[in-house]
């Protein structure tokens, strides 16, 4: 398996522009997570989906952030309009939700820079 | 809500020596899981070791072992025979049992292995 795939790996944009980050989870996994990592706040869970349904979006910072999972193999995180304080590394992770220990597998991350 | 604290922002160790990274957590749950993740300069999040709270035996994975003290809510990671490739950020994480596989991360410890 190719693991969790994220694109793009790097994104540089200007303040006010729309940014879309993409994630393909591991085939067969039914849970998907979006995290944001910054020096100041560490790793924060933004939102997670189970069976394509958003379960907890309490970590989404503002209405400028939205996430979708139209099918089991694809998810997007959109920021509109983007601001310099959104600069961070965004990780997507997936897992197979079963009884017992359910490891999360992380993608390589997208480094976002908003100028 | 759960909190995870890593009190050592940075540590260093000489190659081939042993180092212990600290982690404490706060929870009212009785069933849960604990993890250590490694994040090398490549940014990839890699699972190092995990521990089920109901197991008294400390988990071990090759050179990596944990000291799990449930009453004290402590979960330290010991790295034996440190190697240059162990240089990375290390994150301690908590997962409630049967709660959607959500992880709560500590702030991380930056480990430098010196030749």
Query: What's the pLDDT score for residue A102?
Result: 75
Query: What's the pLDDT score for residue B5?
Result: 96
Instruction: Determine the Cα–Cα distance for residues B83 and B79; give it in Å rounded to an integer.
Output: 9
Query: What's the pLDDT score for residue A1?
Result: 62
Report yes or no: A51 at the B interface, CB cutoff 8 Å. Answer: no
Measured between CA atoms, how close is B106 to chain A, in angstroms? Answer: 8
Which residues 91-110 of A have a C-beta within 8 angstroms of B? 91, 93, 95, 97, 99, 101-104, 106, 108-109
Closest of B16, B10, B11 to residue B85, by C-alpha: B16
pLDDT single digits (tens) A94-109 = 998 776 667 889 999 9
Chain B interface mutation, best of A32, A36, A42, highest count of B Cβ atoms under 10 Å: A42
Q: DSSP states of A15-81 as a string?
A: TT--EEEEEEPPTT--EEEEEEEETTTEEEEEEEEETTEEEE-TT--STTEEEEEEETTEEEEEESS
Q: What is the distance of C-alpha B75 from the center of its chain?
A: 7
Measured between CA atoms, how close is A92 to chain B, in angstroms? Answer: 10
Nearest CB to B105 within list A43, A89, A103: A43
Query: What's the pLDDT score for residue A112?
Result: 98
Nearest CB to A55 within list B42, B43, B100: B100
| Residue-by-residue pLDDT tens, chain A, 115 positions | 679 999 999 999 999 999 999 999 999 999 999 999 998 888 999 999 999 999 989 889 889 999 999 999 999 999 999 999 999 999 999 998 776 667 889 999 999 999 9
Closest of B100, B32, B45 to residue A49, by C-alpha: B100
Residues of chain B whose pLDDT is less than 70?
A: none
Nearest CB to A48 within list B33, B102, B108: B102
């Amino acid at each position: 398996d190719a693991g969790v795939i994220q694109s793009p790996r790097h994104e540089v944009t200007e303040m006010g522009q729309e940014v879309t980050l993409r994630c393909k989870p591991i085939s067969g996994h039914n849970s998907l997570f979006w995290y944001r990592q910054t020096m100041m706040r560490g790793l924060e869970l933004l939102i997670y989906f189970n069976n394509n349904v958003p379960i907890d979006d309490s970590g989404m910072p503002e209405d400028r952030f939205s996430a979708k999972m139209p099918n089991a193999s694809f998810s997007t995180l959109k920021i509109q309009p983007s601001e310099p304080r959104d600069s961070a590394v965004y990780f997507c992770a997936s897992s197979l939700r079963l009884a017992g220990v359910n490891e999360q597998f992380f993608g390589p991350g997208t480094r976002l820079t908003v100028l | 809500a759960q909190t995870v604290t890593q009190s050592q922002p940075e540590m260093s160790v000489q190659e081939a020596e042993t180092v212990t990274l600290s982690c404490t957590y706060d929870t009212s749950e009785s069933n849960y899981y604990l993890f250590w993740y490694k994040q090398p300069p490549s940014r990839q999040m890699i699972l190092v070791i995990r521990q089920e709270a109901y197991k008294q035996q400390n988990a071990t994975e090759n050179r990596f072992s944990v000291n799990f003290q449930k009453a004290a809510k402590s979960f330290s990671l010991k790295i034996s025979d440190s190697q240059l490739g162990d240089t990375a950020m290390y994150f301690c994480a908590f997962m409630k049992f049967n709660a959607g596989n959500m992880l709560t991360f500590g702030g991380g410890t930056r480990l430098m292995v010196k030749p």
